[in-house]
Amino acid sequence: MDTHNVQRLEALLETVQRPSRYTGGEVNAIVKEWKEGRTTFCFAFPDTYEVAMSHLGMKVIYAAVNREDDLLCERAMMPWVDLLEGLKKEKLPLFSLESRRALSDFDCVGFTLQYEMSYTNILTMLDLGGIALESKNRAEDAPIVIAGGPCAFNPEPLHSVIDAFLLGDGETATGELLRAIGKGRKEGKTRLEILRDLAKIEGVYVPALYEIIYKEDGTLASVTPSLPEARKPIKKRLELDLDAAFFPGETPLPFTEAVHDRIVLEVMRGCTRGCRFCQAGMLYRPVRERSVEKLVELAQSLFQSTGYEEMSLSSLSTGDYTQLLPLISSLNQNFEGKMVSLSLPSLRIDNQLQDALVDTAKVKKSGLTLAPEAGTQRLRDVINKGVTEEDLMRSVSEAFEAGWSQVKLYFMIGLPTETDEDLLGIADLARKVVGAYFALPKEKRAKGLKVVVSASTFVPKPFTPFQWAAQDTLEEIKRKQSLLRSALNIRGVTFNWHDPETSFLEACFARGDRKLAMVLLRAYELGCKLDGWNEHFKYDAWMQAFSDTGVDPAFYANRVREKSELLPWEIADIGVTKAYLWLENERALRGDITPDCRAGCEGCGLRRFDGVCPV
């Protein structure tokens, strides 16, 4: 921005609720010079500053790009409504935190797709940043707009908005994309020529290079590359050696409290458990672990550079990290006397729990989180959870005996084959957990019993064994929530549930095709944004957008897919095959368990990838 606009922005920031969201200049922020030959990239996070600054992927890519002399990465986040309206009124562009340049000034703008309900935020940020919403309307010198993250594995609902999608791990691949863009700009190539270059990079999908044909019934007939550079399918990128993969030793410290304000150590990537509803468990295979030595080294660097007093071990299932207890022991030894607490999200309910609880409680106790997911063993077998009621009760009893009094239990409602008996089993489990607390002698109970039961709504996701399943109708979801509210009227128990309309929209976009892009653009015209925030979610406007575009949302959310149907997301090859997912679907309907693949290969298909799952 020029000096005049900077002054106008400064005045505007004095009027907003939390100006610290937009000032930049945090400790450990990286400000690089915009100089000739340096490709400029804005990592745009489609949610608020507090959410963005909690996201590990953003921290990794930010530091990985900025360590390269020929590349530059700055950050932008979705503004809250006060600044959003102010920027519009003052005719100021959405800007990066580091240099306060408009998004339109960058060579490339990249979004992370973590959640389907953030898609209107992407349109908002592009619009505010001076970039045309659709690829076809962008000027030759406009930034190339890219996207990655888990939702990028079904890119079709954003096909007209995003120029190129990166599927898979981004530590190395992001730099490859940026260098291809920079080289193309330097050589004076057109946007189409640059996009053709990007399509040559493994893991990159450029939707403009494919022709899509539909059948009369609305299902997909064919996906055909229109240029030789366009691959089919797009094989995901993998960082096989996590010790060698880049991980930052320092990260920007937010000026305002973030959702997760602490050191985060990614101990491993991937999961072998094979829960049939879990998209991440399939997308991020194979399992790759960081060594204890590397994690302790990173922890020490991050503590020195941030001063955080809380540390979290992060993965899809931290309890499955094979060196969990040695790691906890090493971290406790290294941080003894420094009052750094350690939290363990995503714990498995198994025999390692007791030792882990004892070690992590040495500084202070945080809440214990467990995820039975279903209320009966029958349904846990359907979803392949691999957890029994005995496991759960042993775990919470051990936790209560070790001095815990706060337990969070996560469940999902609307799972395939679910009955009311399964739902009432959730209340039965909660009652037994409370009973385990009161079974202790009064003098041994920690004060303040609080059992929080959270029930999210099942959303069928691509690349899972349940990708063919229908989501319950809104009426059925609401009935089930009402049943649970009544059944969970138990002393010491708090019940939280998700808004069913949001879950319905999430299902539409999770399994959407290119027709959903019309709906998205129309919803944005009707004022939809910040859809992940209940106070701003406009369900009626969304329904009007579907009506105005002639698209039936039930076709995407409430319809069972046939085995033979060509699915929009099959453009991506995640390693796990469609045949294996269908086999798991059939096992689910029979209630058959599939063992953890660390006990022996189940033939999911990953061995087709070089260097993965050696015999």
pLDDT value at position 362? 47
Q: Is residue 217 located within the same domain as residue 182?
A: yes
Distances 213 to 154, 192, 222, 500 between C-alpha atoms, Å: 17, 22, 5, 32
Residue 189 lies in a domain: yes
* Mean pLDDT across 520-528: 98
From 349, 372, 404, give the residue that closes a domain.
Answer: 349
Q: Is residue 266 located within the same domain as residue 131?
A: no
| SS3 state at 608 | helix
The contacts of residue 196 (CB under 8 Å, 6+ apart) are 206, 209, 227, 229
From 296, 321, 349, give the residue that closes a domain.
Answer: 349
Residue 32 predicted with pLDDT over 90: yes
Q: Is residue 85 located within the same domain as residue 160?
A: yes
Distances 614 to 46, 286, 455 between C-alpha atoms, Å: 38, 11, 38
* Mean pLDDT across 366-376: 84
- Six-digit token pair at 342? 């350690």
Q: Is residue 228 located within the same domain as residue 338?
A: no
Look up residue 414 and give its DSSP letter. Answer: S
* Mean pLDDT across 260-286: 92
Burial class (CB in 10 A: 0-12, 13-18, 19+), 215: exposed
Position 543 confidence tier, pLDDT thresholds 50, 70, 90:
very high
263-266 sheet: strands from edge to edge: 263-266, 310-314, 341-343
- Six-digit token pair at 14? 């004095």
pLDDT value at position 367? 65
Residue 234 has a CB neighbour count (10 Å cut-off) of: 23
Distances 185 to 63, 191, 195 between C-alpha atoms, Å: 23, 9, 11
Distances 304 to 184, 297, 307, 360 between C-alpha atoms, Å: 40, 11, 6, 21
Residue 548 predicted with pLDDT over 80: yes
CATH code assigned at 302: 3.30.750.210
pLDDT value at position 259? 74
144-148 sheet: strands from edge to edge: 71-77, 39-45, 108-112, 144-148, 164-166, 204-205
| SS3 state at 152 | helix
Q: Dump the DSSP string for 103-148.
A: GGGSSEEEEE---GGGHHHHHHHHHHTT--SSGGG--TTSPEEEEE
State phi, psi for 62 to the nearest 5 degrees: -55, -50
* Mean pLDDT across 79-88: 95
Residue 113 lies in a domain: yes
State phi, psi for 603 to the nearest 5 degrees: 75, 40
Position 4 confidence tier, pLDDT thresholds 50, 70, 90:
confident
Question: 542 forms bridges with which residues in the sheet?
Answer: none
pLDDT value at position 363? 43
Residue 353 predicted with pLDDT over 60: no
% of the chain residues with pLDDT over 90: 80
Q: Is residue 12 located within the same domain as residue 68?
A: yes
pLDDT value at position 310? 87
Q: Is residue 13 located within the same domain as residue 91?
A: yes
Residue 349 predicted with pLDDT over 80: no
Q: Is residue 330 located within the same domain as residue 296?
A: yes
From 349, 378, 412, give the residue that closes a domain.
Answer: 349
Residue 544 lies in a domain: no
How many angstroms separate the CA atoms of 580 and 99, rounded?
48
How many angstroms separate the CA atoms of 579 and 150, rounded?
21
Instruction: Report yes or no on whether pTM surpasses 0.75.
Output: yes
Contact 295, 265 (CB under 8 A): yes
Q: Which helix (H) or strand (E) holds 62?
A: helix 56-66
Question: 235 forms bridges with which residues in the sheet?
Answer: 573
Residue 366 predicted with pLDDT over 90: no
Contact 317, 287 (CB under 8 A): no
Contact 132, 138 (CB under 8 A): yes
Residue 458 has a CB neighbour count (10 Å cut-off) of: 22
pLDDT value at position 344? 67
Helix 500-510 vs helix 515-525: crossing angle, to nearest 10 = 140
Q: For 427-481, what is each residue's pLDDT tens digit?
A: 999 999 999 999 999 988 998 899 999 999 999 999 999 999 999 999 999 999 9
Comparing C-alpha atoms, which of 117, 110, 176, 180 is closest to residue 149? 110
**305 is in which domain, residue-wise?**
260-349
pLDDT value at position 307? 85
| SS3 state at 585 | helix
Residue 136 lies in a domain: yes
Distances 217 to 139, 351, 396, 565 between C-alpha atoms, Å: 36, 51, 50, 11
Lowest-confidence pick of 121-135, 357-371, 397-411, 503-517:
357-371
Up-side HSE of residue 78: CA atoms within 13 Å toward CB?
23
Q: Dump the DSSP string for 504-525.
A: HHHHHHHT--THHHHHHHHHHH
The contacts of residue 311 (CB under 8 Å, 6+ apart) are 262, 263, 264, 265, 299, 303, 331, 335, 340, 341, 342, 343
Q: Is residue 158 located within the same domain as residue 14?
A: yes
Residue 122 predicted with pLDDT over 90: yes
- Six-digit token pair at 176? 């490859």
pLDDT value at position 527? 97
Position 255 confidence tier, pLDDT thresholds 50, 70, 90:
confident
Question: 311 forms bridges with which residues in the sheet?
Answer: 263, 342
Per DSSP bridges, beta strands 204-205 and 164-166 are antiparallel
pLDDT value at position 156? 98
Q: Give the count of domains, the chain.
A: 2
Q: For 167-187, what is each residue's pLDDT tens digit?
A: 999 999 999 999 999 999 999
Residue 360 predicted with pLDDT over 60: no
Residue 188 lies in a domain: yes
pLDDT value at position 614? 55
Residue 145 lies in a domain: yes
Per DSSP bridges, beta strands 450-457 and 493-497 are parallel
Q: Which helix (H) or strand (E) holds 556?
A: helix 554-557
- Six-digit token pair at 595? 């063992």
Q: Is residue 13 located within the same domain as residue 97?
A: yes
Burial class (CB in 10 A: 0-12, 13-18, 19+), 55: buried
Position 359 confidence tier, pLDDT thresholds 50, 70, 90:
low
Q: Is residue 216 located within the same domain as residue 278?
A: no
% of the chain residues with pLDDT over 70: 95
| Residues, the chain | 615
Residue 337 lies in a domain: yes
Question: 266 forms bridges with which residues in the sheet?
Answer: 314
- Six-digit token pair at 247? 């991980």
How many angstroms separate the CA atoms of 288 and 304, rounded?
26
Residue 573 predicted with pLDDT over 90: yes
How many angstroms separate the CA atoms of 574 and 584, rounded?
16
| SS3 state at 550 | coil
pLDDT: which is higher, 356 or 117 = 117
Residue 97 lies in a domain: yes
Comparing C-alpha atoms, which of 600, 591, 565 is closest to residue 215? 565
Q: For 200-238, what is each residue's pLDDT tens digit?
A: 999 999 999 999 999 999 999 999 999 999 999 999 999
What rounded mean pLDDT belongs to the chain? 93
Position 615 confidence tier, pLDDT thresholds 50, 70, 90:
very low
pLDDT value at position 317? 85
- Look-up of token digits 């041994």: 444
CATH code assigned at 30: 3.40.50.280
Distances 297 to 252, 264, 294 between C-alpha atoms, Å: 18, 13, 5
Residue 351 predicted with pLDDT over 50: no
How many angstroms separate the CA atoms of 80 and 68, rounded?
32
Alpha helices in 342-419 (DSSP H): 353-360, 377-382, 389-401
How many angstroms separate the CA atoms of 133 and 101, rounded?
19
Q: Is residue 33 located within the same domain as residue 98?
A: yes
Question: 73 forms bridges with which residues in the sheet?
Answer: 41
Q: Is residue 211 located within the same domain as residue 274?
A: no
Per DSSP bridges, beta strands 220-225 and 210-214 are antiparallel
Q: For 492-520, what is each residue's pLDDT tens digit?
A: 999 999 999 999 999 999 999 999 999 99
Determine the Cα angle at 52 with ends 309 and 204, to 5°.
Answer: 125
Residue 591 predicted with pLDDT over 90: yes
